[in-house]
Amino acid sequence: MTYKLKSYHKTGDDYTAVGDLTLLGVTKEVVLVGHFNGVAKDPWGNLRAGFTAEGKLNRKDFGMNWNKTLDSGGLVVGDEVHMKLDIECIKAK
């Protein structure tokens, strides 16, 4: 799985990122809405930046079609997948 950022913009304290998500060999555009949590130095002297982000996708867009009908008539797996990311970046030395 890879995500390649194409563009982003800031709205207030939040960021909207538009990028290409490749999953199981299929690439689709996915929008993530995130927040910059700040920069801090870790115990080893490295600068780290923290972000949180959320987005959603349709699993069928990536070829994930398996499902099973329950006795009650519902499905085991829904099509919409909600993503919640905690991201930490370390500045290269």
Query: Range of 12's domain?
Result: 2-90
Can you give the CATH number for the domain in which 12 is found? 2.40.128.110
Euclidean distance between CA atoms 13 and 85, whole angstroms? 17
* Overall domain count for the chain: 1
Using a 10 angstrom Cβ sphere, with 0-12 exposed, 13-18 middle and 19 or more buried, the burial of residue 74 is: exposed
The model's pLDDT over 7-23, given as tens digits with 9 standing for 90+, comes to 999 998 899 999 999 99
The model's pLDDT over 36-88, given as tens digits with 9 standing for 90+, comes to 999 999 999 999 999 999 999 999 999 999 989 889 988 899 899 999 999 99
Q: State the DSSP code for 86.
A: E
Residue type, 34: G
